[in-house]
Amino acid sequence: MAQLVPGAAMLCCSLTVDGEELLDSGHGVDAYAERGKTMGVPLLYPWANRLAEFAYSAAGKEVLLPEDRSRLPADPNGLPIHGVIPNLMRFEAGARENGSALTGRLDWSTPELLELFPYAHEVSLEARVDTGSLTIATTVRASGRDRVPVSFGFHPYLRLPGGRESCRLTFPPAEHLILDDRMLPSGAAEPAQAGELELAGRVFDDAFKPHRQPTRYAVAAAGREIALELQEGFPYSQVYAPEGKDFICFEPMTAPANALRSGEGLSVLEPGNTHRAVFSVTAFRA
C-alpha cells in the first residue's frame, strides 16, 4: 500500500509491504512540504541535487535565482539543492484506478514557478501499486512555445532491511562520476564497482552513469531484499547512505547534478515533445 500527497509534489510518504514500512519518514511530511526536508520518495524538481550557483543558463535562457529559502532549499555550502520547495508544486490529483494507481498533473505556468524555471510545460505523474511493488512514471511535456530542459530526479529513502553490518548491496555496471569538494561532478569518471558488496564499513554519496537501461540496484538482509529498477528515462543515478543512518537511497536522475549549468547530460525538449521516465521499488522475501 502506498500513500501520496498531491499537494506536496506528489510525495510518496509511505509504502508498506506485508505490513512492513519500506520508507524512512525523516522529519515528516510538513517539514518536507514547507522546507524541503526530504523523506519517503520525494520528487526533486525541476533539478535533482545541487546547482553550483543561484544562476543557470539553459535552452537559450539566462536565469538568476532568488536566494529565498522559502522557495529554494540550500545545502550546507549554501548551494541550491533539490529544486523548488514542494508546497509550491501542488499537483491536481486524478481519479484513483481501483485503488491501485493515482495520477497527478502540474501545470508549470504560474509567474511564481516561471521565475524559478522559466519554461512553460506540464508534468504528469502516475504512481501504481502492484503486489510488493510501486512504479512511478513521470512525463514532462513541452506544452508551450518554450524549449524545456529536463533535469529532475527522485530520492527514495529505503529503510535498511537489517543492520548495516548485515546488508548486502547490488550495483549495476556503471561509470562512477568523480565529485569535487562541493559534491558537484568534476567532469572526470572511472569504472564503478559492480555486483555484490557489503554495506558494513561504507558510506555513500556517489554519482553514477549506468551502462544500460533497465538497470537495477538492491539492498538485502534478514531475508528481505528491496530493489530499485531504473526502467526508462533515467540515465543517471546517485547512491546516498550516510554513516549512522538506517536507510539507503538509490536515486533515479534524468541528468547529473548541476546539469542546468554545465549542460552535461542535459536533454532539452522541443515544443510539443515529451520525456517519460519510469522507475520501480520492489520488495522480495528471500
pLDDT of residue 8: 95
Q: Which residue has the cell 531504473?
A: 230
Q: Which three cell numbers, joined as nine digits, stand for 167?
A: 546488508
pLDDT of residue 95: 64
pLDDT of residue 94: 84
Q: Which three cell numbers, joined as nine digits, stand for 76?
A: 550546507
What pLDDT digit, counting tens, does each position of 49-88 carry?
999 999 999 999 999 999 999 999 999 999 999 999 999 9
Give the β-pairing of 267-269 and 43-44. unpaired
pLDDT of residue 286: 67
pLDDT of residue 132: 87
pLDDT of residue 96: 66
Residues contacting residue 171 through CB under 8 Å, at least 6 positions apart: 192, 193, 194, 195, 197, 208, 217, 239
Are 176 and 149 in contact, with CB atoms under 8 Å apart? no
Q: Which residue has the cell 512525463?
A: 139
In DSSP terms, which residues pair with 45 in a beta bridge?
83
- The 10 Å Cβ neighbour count of residue 131 is 7
Structural element, H or E, at residue 31:
helix 29-35
pLDDT of residue 269: 98
Give the β-pairing of 224-232 and 274-285. antiparallel
Residue 180 three-state SS: coil
Question: Could you tell me the pTM of the whole model?
Answer: 0.95
Rounded Cα distance between 123 and 116, Å, is 16
Instruction: Tell me the domains of the chain and their CATH numbers.
Output: 2-285 (2.70.98.10)
- The 10 Å Cβ neighbour count of residue 163 is 12
| Residues of the chain below pLDDT 50 | none
Are 5 and 29 in contact, with CB atoms under 8 Å apart? yes
Q: Which three cell numbers, joined as nine digits, stand for 74?
A: 540550500
Rounded Cα distance between 46 and 37, Å, is 16
